[in-house]
Amino acid sequence: MLKKFTFNMENLAVNTVYCGDSVSLIRKISPNTIALSFWSPPYFLGKEYEKEATYDSWQELLKNIITLHYEVLKPGGFLVINIADIIAFQDEKMPRIMGMNPANRKCDVTKDMILKVQSDFPNYNRRQIAEVLKCSEQTIDRRLNGNNIRGGKYAVGTHIKLVGGNIEQYAYDAGLFLYDKRIWKKDPAWANSKWTTNTLKSVSETEDLYIFWKPGEYTVNRERLTQGEWKEWGYRQIWEIPSVRANKEHPAMFPKELASRVIRLYTDEGDIILDPFLGSGTTAIAAIEAKRNFIGIEMIGKYAAIAKKNIKNAQHSQTFKSELLFPKEEKTELSVI
């Protein structure tokens, strides 16, 4: 059963970066005020900021964040989650055998050769067999027991799992309905990409955008995009957008164009955009450039400070500085909770 959250009426101000726990801070957002929440959560890939997480604790975080959105979204508002649907993580319960890859072998000794020596010399131990074949004892282990042997011990296997179904269930239980799904097709030059694999598994080329809707009237405004933009990507399910070339400010950056498209498609000028995993500030910057308000939450202080700096630079570069969007007393403060 999902947790019940009590909302604190000490409301968060717009156009502000908050440093703290999203589960606690979202409760302080005025109910029914967010037109769009767009974010990319931690992917449970073992990065520094999620090294203590388990699969279960990671799923609990997603469930709690999604559940809180029902209260803060406006009726008719949208929650858009950018996530790689297929994740991989170490799991003690997985079989600890990997596929054999002869092309990567540094030694041409095969399993059949080892079995022949064992048949000819049934009393030979692993060291003696290795001496006959002029190879290492580790090679004997790998050929006989699998390619995932390290120092004579099995390595923990990798579990591949789809997470989109879990996200949809959390949203549905919270009262939000799946409205649409789009696909971000990346290019082979994203940061940290090796564009190769030593297994039969494919190299990741896409991420998913799950769009959830809070029941209520919403507007289909054809003036949000140009006619050309509607044809190029507004109506299209697959968005081809170049990836971030270097994660200089945050280890998991997504391109500003991705946030910009989501914001312009689902909101109007003056609406409030929420990002509870703000990172270096990409969503807020896209909101500023589209003349929207924002609320950003980032757990880690150094990234919250980077986001504040980047957002101020974006504000200064804009020709519009209306009091509606950026009241002087609220201009991109960094609040530590």
Give the pLDDT score at 118: 93
The 3-state DSSP class for residue 156 equals coil
**Position 43 pLDDT exceeds 80:** no
| Measured distance between the N- and C-terminal CA atoms of the chain, rounded to whole angstroms | 28
Tokens coding 157: 């296997």
Rounded to 5 degrees, φ, ψ at 119 are: -70, -40
Per-residue pLDDT band for 327 (boundaries 50, 70, 90) equals low
Query: Do residues 89 and 55 lie in contact, with contact meaning Cβ atoms separated by under 8 Å?
Result: yes
| Domain spans in the chain, listed from the N-terminal domain onward | 16-90+164-336, 102-154
Query: Do residues 248 and 280 lie in contact, with contact meaning Cβ atoms separated by under 8 Å?
Result: no
Q: How far is CA 305 from CA 131, 308, 321, 331, in A?
A: 60, 5, 22, 14
Single out the residue of 114, 95, 207 nearest to residue 160, CA to CA: 95
Chain segment 263-291, per-residue pLDDT in tens: 999 999 999 999 999 998 999 999 999 99
The identity of residue 24, as a single letter, is: S
- Other Cβ atoms within 10 Å of 198 Cβ, number: 11
Distance CA 81, CA 210 (A): 5
Distance CA 200, CA 202 (A): 7
Chain segment 244-254, per-residue pLDDT in tens: 765 565 445 78
Q: Where are the beta strands (DSSP E) in 145-292?
A: 149-150, 153-154, 157-162, 177-185, 206-213, 238-240, 272-275
**Overall average pLDDT of the 96-100 stretch:** 64
* CATH superfamily name and code, 16-90+164-336: Vaccinia Virus protein VP39 (3.40.50.150)
Chain segment 202-212, per-residue pLDDT in tens: 777 899 999 99
Query: Do residues 306 and 280 lie in contact, with contact meaning Cβ atoms separated by under 8 Å?
Result: yes
Angle CA(12)–CA(84)–CA(263) in degrees, nearest 5?
Answer: 45
Tokens coding 285: 């910057």
Give the pLDDT score at 194: 54
Give the pLDDT score at 3: 45
- The pTM score is 0.76
Number of alpha carbons in the 13 Å side-chain half-sphere of residue 98: 18
Kind of pairing, strands 157-162 and 86-91? Answer: antiparallel
**Overall average pLDDT of the 17-27 stretch:** 96
Q: Out of 1.10.10, 3.90.1200, 3.40.50, 3.30.70, which CATH number does the structure's domain 102-154 have?
A: 1.10.10
Tokens coding 16: 């502000």
**Position 15 pLDDT exceeds 80:** yes
Distance CA 222, CA 224 (A): 5
